[in-house]
Amino acid sequence: MTIAFAMHERKDEEIFSKFKPYVVEWFQQSFSSMTPPQRLALPEILSSKNVLISAPTGSGKTLAAFLTLLNFLFDLGEKEELNNEIYVVYVSPLRALNNDIKRNLMEPLKGIRKITEEIGIELPEVRVAVRTGDTPQSERSKMLRKTPHILITTPETIAIVLSAPKFREKLRSVRFVVVDEIHELADSKRGVHLSLSLERLQDLVGDNKIVKIGCSATQAPLEEISKFLVGFENEERCRDCVIVDASMIKHTEITVQTPVKDLIYTPEENVSHALYMNLDELITDHVTTLVFTNTRSGTERVVFHLQTILVRITLLYLENIV
């Protein structure tokens, strides 16, 4: 067993040299430079090593996986070897986020395809699909005829498709498995279930090694999580894994604000109005704002009032310009 930590950040130019020029072009058009997690993780993933990435939300760890996977699939496309099979399995423990993951994948796919069309390179379509317990039977049947090259799924569903006689044949070509939010699974029965499924998948694939990539912002201890990700070759030996520990302490500023000076004696209607006006001001002044409530009904109430304020401001703006 070899569990090592990635210690040296490579330069952007060195990493870019391993990618297709149009993938590099898309990245440079979209981002100013690579982030530390990407500089640490990408060389290891490109070397077909199992990698566990621990980095804060928004640091680009998921994109590090996406870039390598897309580069691999485009390379197959150029060689005319991109078949009607699954090459990447993306496992997310949160079913509600699967469609968001698909949208995040479609953005670089569309951007890269636009670049290749402009420079006259013809590439086959790289297909992405979500399959969970909510997927209609018609969509499941369609996946047999027009198989996604990247399958986004859940721990429970990957176990089911491995038992489906026809669909499991589409999994023999899998080369990458990405486990997102791995901390959600590592200490649960769902994680045990997933470990078994990944071993079944490796057995189905045969001699070709599946590269496993784990991502999370909150995971510890990293060595134990890495063992969970890669599994064991036998009773004694764990598979090799490289840990990218790019944890960073972000500057945090905490302030406590009240919508009115006196919460006790101010009428509830006035408090509510002041609260939403305060929220509107904060949302206007910031790029991203998270609003937490105690209940679902509270969330719906906040959304309704903010929409009302937005409509009123929009109408006032239109009146002024007319």
pLDDT band at residue 312 under the 50/70/90 scheme: low
Rounded-to-integer distance, Cα 45 and Cα 10, Å: 13
Highest-confidence segment of 7-21, 224-238, 277-291: 7-21
Q: Tell how strand 51-54 and strand 241-245 pair up.
A: parallel
Query: How does residue 320 score in pLDDT terms, banded at 50, 70 and 90?
Result: low
Residues 6+ apart with CB under 8 A from 162: 168, 171, 197, 200, 201, 204
Q: Given a cut of 70, is residue 316 above it in pLDDT?
A: no
CA dist 176 and 185 (Å) reads 18
User: Phi and psi dihedrals of 202, rounded to 5?
Assistant: -65, -40
Q: What is the pLDDT of residue 93?
A: 86
Q: Are 151 and 90 in contact (CB under 8 A)?
A: yes
The Cα–Cα gap between 162 and 175 comes to 15
Across the beta sheet with 150-153, the strand order is 3-5, 241-245, 51-54, 211-216, 176-179, 88-91, 150-153, 128-131
Reported as a single tens digit per residue, the pLDDT across 103-161 is 888 999 999 999 999 988 888 899 999 998 888 899 999 999 999 999 999 999 999 99
Check if the beta carbon of residue 130 is closer than 8 Å to that of residue 99: yes
Q: Does domain 3-245 have CATH number 3.40.50.970?
A: no
What is the value of pTM for the model shown? 0.76
Residue 88 scores a pLDDT above 90: yes
pLDDT of 321 higher than 60: no
- Average pLDDT of the chain is 87
Residue 153 β-bridge partners: 91, 131
Query: Using the 8-state DSSP alphabet, how is residue 126 labeled?
Result: -
Contact criterion met (CB below 8 Å) for 39 and 9: yes
Domain residue spans of the chain: 3-245, 268-321
Task: Give kind and range of the element (H or E) at residue 128.
Answer: strand 128-131
Portion of the chain with pLDDT greater than 90, in percent: 43
